[in-house]
Amino acid sequence: MSPVTRAVLGVVGLGGSLAVLIYLAAVLDRVIGHRVAQQPLRWSAALALPAREAARLVLQQRSRTERSDAEAWALAPALLAAAAAASVAVIPFGPAAAVADVDAGLALYVAAIALVMVAVFLHGWSPNSVYPLIGAYRFVAVTLSFQVPLALVLLATALPAESLSVSAIVQAQDGLWNVVRQPLGLPIFLATGLGAAFWGPLALPDADDLAGGTRAEVSGVPLLLWRAAQLAVLVSIAAMSAAAFLGGWRGPWLPGVVWLGLKTLAVLVVLLLAGHLLARVRQESFVVFGWVVLIPLALVDVFLSGILLL
């Protein structure tokens, strides 16, 4: 197979699996929501619901505002999705298989998550409307607070692997998963990951107290693309936590891809449940929490794993 064919196959495969996982995330979100609300929902209805919503959104007109920044508004959902896709590309799905096995995959991942902030800010800035703007600036404050713990906790998983490449990190988990070796790691990563995907307790840019926030002026196909991109980031967080903490493709009998998919879905369920059971945080409280609690805990995680390795 020529390298070009392999590359194209990789990109298409990545896009396809990301699309499937995004769809499943939407389905699971509905199912979990109805379970928490103690309302009945048939599985057949749940499986078709995201498709129906998408069809309805495709048939709806795109909203425009006075003197908006049209190019940035068009770019924002695409940038969010591209950042999410690039971050998933470094995650291995087999012993020597990743779409892009970058030597410093971890650094690339954190950089892609940082792009999420840019995309959300653009999305809030472009409509030239008050509620999206406030949502955008709020999110920047929160992102600056969770970015460092997220990177530190991932860095701790790189210590035993002696490499920043994600496949090396997965390889280094053949004796013991990182979730056991570094117990602080996964909870902190999930908490900050919710912020990266602005989901649940950290859904500050698209919040209900801002009538939808950055989403308030969006309708039709752009709204569908934005929600899909947001779920793509959530899937990326789940996939990275599966790879860095839960052993990635490791597992008996089933092929590596299937194990990665199952672990990703399991983490997705946890993230979606957190979205339904935890209230939205206050901006300032989270900033203080991020700097005074999360960063010291992440540093403890890093240095403790370092000491245990020596």
Least distance from other proteins to the Cβ atom of residue 280, Å:
4
Please identify, using beta-carbon distances, which residue of 253 and 310 lies nearer to other proteins. Answer: 310
Give whole-number Cα distances, 38 to 27, 31, 41, 271, 280, in Å: 16, 10, 9, 19, 21
Q: For the purposes of burial, counting CB atoms within 10 Å of the CB of 41, is it exposed (0-12), middle (13-18) or buried (19 or more)?
A: middle
Please identify, using beta-carbon distances, which residue of 132 and 261 lies nearer to other proteins. Answer: 132
Task: Name the residue among 202, 11, 198, 189 with its Cα closest to residue 110.
Answer: 189
**Do 272 and 203 form a contact (C-beta atoms < 8 A)?**
no
**Which pair of structure tokens corresponds to residue 258?**
């299937």
Please identify, using beta-carbon distances, which residue of 74 and 184 lies nearer to other proteins. Answer: 74
CA distance 63 to 206: 17
Least distance from other proteins to the Cβ atom of residue 183, Å:
19
Least distance from other proteins to the Cβ atom of residue 235, Å:
13
Task: Name the residue among 309, 305, 277, 308 with its Cα closest to residue 185.
Answer: 305
Phi, psi values for residue 94, rounded to 5°: -165, 175
Least distance from other proteins to the Cβ atom of residue 236, Å:
11
Least distance from other proteins to the Cβ atom of residue 148, Å:
5
Least distance from other proteins to the Cβ atom of residue 179, Å:
18
Backbone φ/ψ region at 6: left (φ over 0), alpha (ψ -120 to 50), beta: alpha
Please identify, using beta-carbon distances, which residue of 55 and 258 lies nearer to other proteins. Answer: 55
CA distance 217 to 137: 16
Q: For the purposes of burial, counting CB atoms within 10 Å of the CB of 153, is it exposed (0-12), middle (13-18) or buried (19 or more)?
A: buried
Please identify, using beta-carbon distances, which residue of 7 and 258 lies nearer to other proteins. Answer: 7
Please identify, using beta-carbon distances, which residue of 25 and 90 lies nearer to other proteins. Answer: 90
Least distance from other proteins to the Cβ atom of residue 209, Å:
4
Task: Name the residue among 308, 265, 301, 266 with its Cα closest to residue 151.
Answer: 301
Phi, psi values for residue 173, rounded to 5°: -95, 25
Please identify, using beta-carbon distances, which residue of 128 and 171 lies nearer to other proteins. Answer: 128
